[in-house]
């Protein structure tokens, strides 16, 4: 079966949460609509759990922690490898779910959303199998141990990818988890929960509680029996979680917003540098926190950059996400659609040059949260569209007169999540990359690396995901002096 709605409805998943290995009815019968952004129609009703439901899930995770943390590394790695296999086996079902719940073009869901999510699980299993949990430093043993019960809060823009980026390393580390997926895009989370059970992960190790941020998210953040909170979301949400978690002094990992620069150096081949930059800024319809939405270019080449950028955007096919000809589906939900439209209006009012796109929906797409891919040029760093995260297919082009000025523009942001640098002189590319204040810098559009740590400077958050560092976020450090192994 490749129809996620029929599958989930038949299994009764929409009105149940997963606690202690059992799908149970939450204490509340309050529901929220799951809306297909391509049609603006409600396709399901998801149950909203309460704080008491969170208590039950945390208790189940706490009870499962001693057994799971003591499970041999090889056995944990084997079960994670099985999770990876099942994601690949059910890839089409998951891709259809993601396309329905947040509007990803089905071709993009198949090519990126699902396989990249699977990679996080494969990498976690691989890293676990080879990780030195104890090493000697003289006569002191330095051990890394699972931190305990972890509350994981994930967003709607990469719904499965962000779940596996947290759950897989947490389970690899020996932690147990309570996951709160976005109530706006819960379909792939429910399917993933089934995969966890089918892979043989013991009851209580993974628990899923659907609900809102103010109710379930806040309850997880403040819960005294949660040892760590990891959230991917807006900077505003990260601040609220941090404040809520402060009273219990739990570890907080934050992967938040971004306004990533893409520095086009003077020697860059524009025909090779500009099209991938435009495509990257609009990937996932611009709904990526690390999207390079500020293209910083030599002023003397501005006209040529504008021409190539407009030609690139003209090749995008905006439309029904289930149509395999579509490259860009709708914005994931109404609130975000309205935010993108508002920010396009702000850019126009600020006097930026509109290269292509603009407000309103594309012609012929009156129904659905569709946005016209939009490029502004002659933008200055003081403009709101150069400083605020739009989270839609909106690119701003900012000119510079010297490389020093380009670096200053790149760093002129409260964010520091991702960055790009393009050029032919690799010494200069590396030097510029080293001066940008961001957690991940991509040089000349390299292939995605699931082992590369990902996370932010400044208001883009703290902590790291992906790779070894992603697993170490879920580990405590213990020093045992005088250990002197025999």
| Structure tokens that stand for 121 in this block | 């699980």
Cα→Cα distances 388→98, 381, 418, 421, 461, Å: 27, 10, 15, 21, 16
Cβ within 8 Å of residue 87, ≥6 positions away: 94, 114, 117, 118, 121, 164, 192, 195
| Structure tokens that stand for 440 in this block | 């991940």
Distance CA 171, CA 320 (A): 37
Reduced DSSP (H G I as helix, E B as strand, rest coil) percent helix, strand, coil of the chain, to 5? 45, 20, 35
Distance CA 9, CA 29 (A): 16
| Structure tokens that stand for 131 in this block | 């990780």
Q: What's phi and psi for 7, nearest 5 deg?
A: -60, -50
| Structure tokens that stand for 339 in this block | 């935010």
Answer positive or negative: Cα dihedral of 389, 390, 394, 396.
Answer: negative
| Structure tokens that stand for 472 in this block | 């170490």
Q: Which of 124, 123, 120, 146 is nearest to 133 (CA)?
A: 146
| Structure tokens that stand for 142 in this block | 């330095």
**How many residues make up the chain in this entry?**
486
E-assigned strands of 27-169? 31-36, 41-47, 134-137, 140-146, 149-153
Distance CA 153, CA 216 (A): 9
Rounding to the nearest 10 degrees, give the CA dihedral for residues 330, 385, 289, 308.
Answer: 70
Q: Is 255 noted as a catalytic residue in this protein? A: yes
Cα→Cα distances 1→16, 92, 101, 363, 381, Å: 21, 9, 17, 34, 50
**DSSP conformation class of 447:** P
Distance CA 185, CA 46 (A): 10
* HSE, side-chain direction, 13 A CA sphere, residue 420: 28
| Structure tokens that stand for 48 in this block | 């909203």
| Structure tokens that stand for 316 in this block | 């995008």
Active-site residue, from 183, 194, 218, 255: 255
* Other beta carbons within 10 Å of 411: 16
Cβ atoms of 98 and 159 closer than 8 Å: yes
Residue numbers annotated as active site: 255
């Amino acid at each position: 079966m490749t129809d996620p709605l029929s599958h989930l409805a038949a299994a009764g998943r929409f009105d149940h949460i997963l606690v202690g290995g059992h799908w149970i009815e939450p204490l509340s019968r309050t529901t929220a609509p799951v809306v297909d952004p391509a049609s603006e129609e409600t396709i399901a009703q998801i149950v909203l759990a309460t704080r008491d439901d969170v208590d039950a899930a945390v208790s189940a995770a706490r009870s499962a922690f001693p057994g799971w943390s003591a499970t041999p590394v090889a056995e944990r790695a084997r079960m994670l490898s099985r999770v990876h296999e099942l994601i690949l086996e059910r890839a089409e079902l998951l891709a259809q779910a993601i396309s329905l719940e947040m509007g990803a073009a089905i071709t993009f869901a198949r090519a990126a959303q699902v396989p990249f999510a699977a990679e996080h699980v494969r990498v976690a299993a691989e890293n676990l199998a080879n990780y030195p949990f104890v090493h000697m430093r003289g006569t002191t043993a330095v051990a890394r141990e699972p931190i305990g019960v972890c509350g994981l809060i994930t967003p709607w823009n990469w719904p499965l990818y962000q779940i596996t980026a947290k759950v897989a390393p947490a389970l690899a580390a020996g932690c147990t988890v309570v996951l709160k997926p976005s109530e706006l895009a819960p379909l792939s989370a429910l399917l993933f929960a089934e995969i966890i059970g089918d892979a043989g992960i013991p009851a209580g190790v993974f628990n899923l509680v659907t609900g809102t941020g103010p109710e379930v998210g806040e309850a997880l953040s403040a819960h005294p029996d949660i040892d760590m909170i990891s959230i991917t979301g807006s900077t505003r949400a990260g601040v609220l979680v941090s404040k809520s978690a402060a009273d219990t002094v739990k570890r907080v990992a934050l992967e938040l917003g971004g306004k990533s620069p893409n520095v086009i150096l003077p020697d860059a081949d524009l025909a090779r540098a500009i099209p991938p930059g435009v495509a990257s800024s609009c990937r996932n319809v611009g709904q990526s926190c690390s999207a390079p939405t500020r293209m910083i270019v030599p002023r003397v080449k501005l006209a040529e950059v504008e021409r190539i950028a407009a030609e690139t955007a003209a090749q995008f096919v905006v439309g029904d996400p289930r149509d395999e000809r579509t490259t860009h589906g709708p914005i994931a939900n109404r609130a975000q659609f309205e935010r993108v439209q508002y920010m396009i209006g702000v850019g126009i009012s600020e006097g930026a040059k509109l290269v292509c796109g603009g407000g309103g929906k594309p012609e012929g797409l009156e129904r659905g949260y569709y946005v016209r891919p939009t490029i502004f040029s002659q933008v200055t760093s003081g403009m709101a569209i150069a400083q605020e995260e739009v989270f839609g297919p909106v690119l701003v082009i900012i000119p510079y007169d010297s490389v020093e000025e380009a670096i200053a523009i790149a760093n002129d942001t409260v964010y520091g999540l991702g960055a790009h640098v393009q050029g032919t002189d690799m010494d200069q590319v590396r030097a510029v990359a080293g001066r940008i204040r961001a957690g991940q810098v991509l040089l000349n559009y390299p292939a995605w690396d699931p082992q590369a740590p990902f996370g932010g400077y400044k208001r883009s958050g703290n902590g790291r995901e992906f790779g070894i560092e992603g697993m170490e976020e879920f580990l405590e450090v213990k020093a045992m002096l005088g250990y002197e192994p025999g």
